[in-house]
Structure 1
Amino acid sequence: MKLYFPQWQGAGTGEDIQAGAEALLQYLGASGFERVELSKIPAGEAGKKRHCINNYEALHEQLLRLKTKISEEQPATLQTIGGDCGLEIVPVSYLNNRYSRLGVVWFDAHADINRPCDSASCNFHGMPLRTLLGEGEPDMDSLLFSTLTPRQIHYVGLRDVDPAEQQRIAEGQIYAPTRPDAEALVQTLHRKNIEEVYIHFDFDCLDPLDYDKTYYQVPRGVRVNEAETCIKALQSNFRIVGTSVLESVTTKVEELGPIKNILKLLME
């Protein structure tokens, strides 16, 4: 199942994430992607905070819409063009419920593992992994199909981490190397008896020298060729049951050239 879900409300006021998702859709071709409509509840500058989460009402409504669509279709695989990272709580928890040996590979400059009460921004795109662990806002739990364990999470490109996030990563002994290493990642997943993999790809994992059309730019990231090598290694060793491409913000299709191979690997 291919989904187009340009959620931006999880980034607070980051409406350019929606426009960036539309450019990805145009580049890949809209045919075959099912659209998930966004909430009409005011968000951004007009949004309201609940449970220490900005735009809570809009997020909850549209994420429930996504959950309903997936529940009705019961797909074996999911590919999502988004959108901010907060949308991941639905597809990841669905596939985790379907596959008992799922590993999640999180290509991201950020840990996305804050609790709402620890988040300086109160933006939900910094909270999806904590929510997926069942340790986030309880009122979001109804959106989950299942919860993860720390051993299922594997970071690639992580380098901008809040103190509370660093503490949770250390406590959970979560895989978080300083530099990408495809061979070590594959060996780690094999050692854990992982059979299926979900690949979350926030483009800010990439070094801005290679691609800077992202919601955040964080220096010293993953080079494009390193990302491609990791993705190919995962595809060669595991069944990829879910992928996402998230938080690119350019509206110019011609500027997507540097990431064309990554888009092809993850979305075709």
Structure 2
Amino acid sequence: MSQITVIEVPQWQGSASATAHRLRDGAKLLAEMVPDAVRLRVDIADGDTPAALAATAARTRAALAQAPEGLVVTVGGDCGIDLAPISTALDRYGDSLALVWFDAHGDLNTPGSSPSGAFHGMVLRALTGEGHDALLPGRPIHPERIVLAGARDLDPAERDFVASSGLTHLTVADLSEPATLIAAVGKTGAAAVYIHIDLDVLDPAVFASVGTPAPGGLLPDDLLKLVRALRGELEVAGIGITEYEPSRPEDQLLLTSLIADLTTP
């Protein structure tokens, strides 16, 4: 079995949630749920400015450089913590990388279109090369190599981007069969995939410990089947797991099993 490294990034400043401070505890708990892993922790920069978020991203890149060979699981924290891991994967894999973004939301706003101004709602768009100059990857990913999976709460500007960019959007209904996701990723021609998981992709009727819940999400077993299907078809360039705001013991119990299953073969 290859080595697993978990990188804990307790960034909360990129979130618009009123209870975003809980993300710090959520990052710690998520890191502890990844079994048999080398554990690294990133000290986050103070503040919520683009410069502060960029400083945390730089520290995350430095932690990634310390990770031994094998699967790296980056846990947060808000969705913005995946900027550095995905940028690093793009540097390594280039056009052979696909990105599957499990999220209830699009995270496709720009600073000009965002209703909240929060970076966690802009990070996926930033990865395509549009956003704050300090928060852009060295090598952007083309939207045609992105699969947005399970999103059901999109702002108007995000819907426009989905319609015009070539990005693939699979609804929760589309994801009822893993083969649909595998086919969508297959169309990108990718040899490797980065898997981003915002835990609000789960149905809040089953898992409610997130800051921005949206009804009608995936069930945990369905998410696990989809991730296992991806891992069975493609090299995994990394996994990001984000947006856990611990608030209910039953959610922590559910996650303890789910995270172990998501991150181990």
Give TM-score scaled by structure 1 length.
Answer: 0.87
**CA gap 1:170/1:103 in 2 versus in 1, 3 angstroms:** same
User: For the residues of structure 1 that align with 2:63 and 2:14, how far apart are their CA atoms?
Assistant: 20
Secondary structure of 1:219's aligned partner = coil
Are 1:138 and 2:133 counterparts? Answer: yes
Which residue among 100, 112, 116 is the counterpart of 1:117? Answer: 112
Instruction: Say whether the 8 Å CA contact 1:154–1:175 is kept in structure 2.
Output: yes
**CA displacement 1:171-218 (0-9 Å, x = unmatched):** 112111222141111012223222111110111000011111112211
Alignment of 1:87-102 (within 5 A): 87-100=81-94, 101-102=96-97
Alignment of 1:32 with 2:38, yes or no, is yes
Q: Bigger shift: 28-37 or 226-235?
A: 28-37
CA–CA separation in structure 2 for the residues paired with 1:23 and 1:77:
19
Q: Which runs of 5+ in 1 are unaligned?
A: 44-53
Structure 1 residue 267, shift from structure 2 partner: 2.9
Q: Look up the SS of the partner of 1:11 in the other structure.
A: coil
CA positional deviation for 1:98: 0.6
TM-score by length of 2: 0.88
Q: Secondary structure at the match of 1:229?
A: helix
Q: Write the mapping of 1:17-166 to structure 2, written as runs, cut at 5 A.
A: 17-28=23-34, 32-39=38-45, 41=46, 43=47, 54-71=48-65, 77-100=71-94, 101-141=96-136, 144-166=137-159
Could you say what the CA RMSD is over the residues aligned between the two structures, in angstroms? Answer: 2.1
Percent identity of paired positions between Structure 1 and Structure 2: 29
1:176 aligns with 2:176: no
Measured against aligned partners, the alpha-carbon deviations of 1:30-68 in whole angstroms (never above 9, x if no partner) come to 9621011111x3x3xxxxxxxxxx533321221122223
Amino acid at match of 1:228: L
Alpha-carbon distance between aligned partners in 2 of 1:199 and 1:31, rounded to the nearest angstrom: 18
Cα distance between partner residues in 2 of 1:105 and 1:232: 13
CA distance in 1: counterparts of 2:250 and 2:204, whole angstroms: 17
Quick one: structure 1 residues 257 and 206, their matched pair in 2 at CA, closer, same or farther if it must change by over 3 Å? same
Distance 2:67 2:215 in 1: 40
Equivalent residue pairs, number:
254
Q: Secondary structure at the match of 1:118?
A: coil
